[in-house]
Every structure is written in structure tokens, then in C-alpha cells.
A and B are shown apart, each in its own frame.
Chain A
Amino acid sequence: QSALTQPASVSGSPGQSITISCTGTSSDVGGYNYVSWYQQHPGKAPKLMIYEVSNRPSGVPDRFSGSKSGNTASLTISGLQAEDEADYYCSSYTSSSTLYVFGTGTKVTVL
């Protein structure tokens, strides 16, 4: 099972919007709504930001939103803030012999 494909890095200025893509196949991202997104600051554990493609857990700012089209899911951060600078990972259920697969990760830089 190969990792889902994410851009290595995305950057934006404070207040701007950025979008991170997560591309898989019909066996994972495209076939199920079990796509989730995680934020990880250096030396810290990952934190759930989006689940089931577009749902936000309580406490996550509404600047974070998720969507999916075909085999590609996306995380959009609107009104980018300095504290959003972190690594972001997508994840999906997969119907392959394993159960879950993560994305390759994207480093978000706030200019």
C-alpha cells in the first residue's frame, strides 16, 4: 500500500488562504469518506483537524475546512495565521490488505 500523495511544501502570507491536496486511488480516498487531516508541530504529537472529509472536531478553528473530489481530498486553511505553521498529514481508510494509509506530509510555512 503506497502512501497518499501530498505536496512537500505550501506557503502563504498571514491572512491568505492555502490548500493542501491529498491524492489516492479509488481503493482509499476516492472510495470512502474516511479521510482525515492532522496537524503536527515540531516535537509534538499529531492533532486531529478534520475527520470524515469535512467535519471539524470541537475546538478546531473554522478557518480549517476539508473537501474531496474523486480520488483527491483537500485541506484549506483560510486567514492563515503564524501558529498554522506546521506539518500536515492526510489519512484514509483503505480496502487493501492493510486498514489505514497516511499521506506523505506537507510542510506549511507562513511567510
Chain B
Amino acid sequence: EVQLVESGGGLVKPGGSLRLSCAASGFTFSSYSMNWVRQAPGKGLEWVSSISSSSSYIYYADSVKGRFTISRDNAKNSLYLQMNSLRAEDTAVYYCARDPYSNLPGGWFDPWGQGTLVTVSS
């Protein structure tokens, strides 16, 4: 069964840092691009970042560019999101989601993990 499990969320003060992880199983992780998508409480979905299968291509939303860093470790079947200089508006559930192909853009997200909540508050 294809599965994505996020972890690393929690409560952090404004200006702080947090590192999210996404553990993949049930498929050949190194053959797929991956994405982070977030959803603020009661709000819609917002694409955050994408990384190609070999990490050659990386993209960020303007709202996180310069503060967030996406990375992956294909040997560990894991995706990461390093979040620095966090702001209140970064409070959201963060989902990892698989792209359909090794190169970007694949065009859609499937499957999704269950999400991990990040709360930025003093």
C-alpha cells in the first residue's frame, strides 16, 4: 500500500524554526517528484514547494521563498521541509503529496499524507 506519513509538527514561536519529515512506503520513492501543500485552519489548500526525484529541480511558493527549504533523502525514502523565520501566517496543516512522475511538473497530487499541524504563536 502506498503510504505517506508526516511528522515534526508542533508549536513554535514566531521567528523560530521547525523541520518536517514525510516517510514514504509502498512505492519506489526515488522515482517520483514530491510536494508540500499546506492548509491554514478553516482555509483552502496552498501549494508550498516541489522537488524532482533527483533533487535537480526545486520550486517554492512566493510566500515561503527564502525561508523554507525542501529536500529529500532517497536512501531513507524521506522528504523534508526545513522551515525558518516562521510567522503566524505559516500556521497550517502541512501535507506531503506525491507527483505522478520523476520530473516536474507531473500535474497532480496523489496520494496525500494525513498531515502534520504547525502552530506559530508566542
Interface residues of A (CB under 8 A from B): 1, 3, 32-34, 36, 38, 40, 45-48, 51-52, 57, 89, 91, 93, 97-105
Contact = CB atoms under 8 A, between A and B. Distances in A.
Interface string B38-61: 000000111100100000000111
B104 A91 contact: no
A33 B62 CA distance: 23
Interface string B101-114: 00011011111111
Contact of B105 (A3, A57, A93, A105): A93
State the main secondary structure of chain B at its contact with A. loop
Contact of A97 (B44, B62, B108, B110): B62
Chain B contact residues (Cβ within 8 angstroms of A): what range? 20 to 34
B109 A1 contact: no
A1 B63 CA distance: 10
Interface of B: 35, 37, 44-47, 50, 59-62, 95, 97, 100, 104-105, 107-115
Given A46-B97, A89-B45, A103-B44, 7 more contacts: A36-B107, A46-B95, A48-B109, A52-B107, A98-B59, A98-B60, A99-B50
A51 B47 contact: no
A78 B114 CA distance: 28
A46 B107 contact: no
A100 B100 CA distance: 14
Nearest to A89: B45
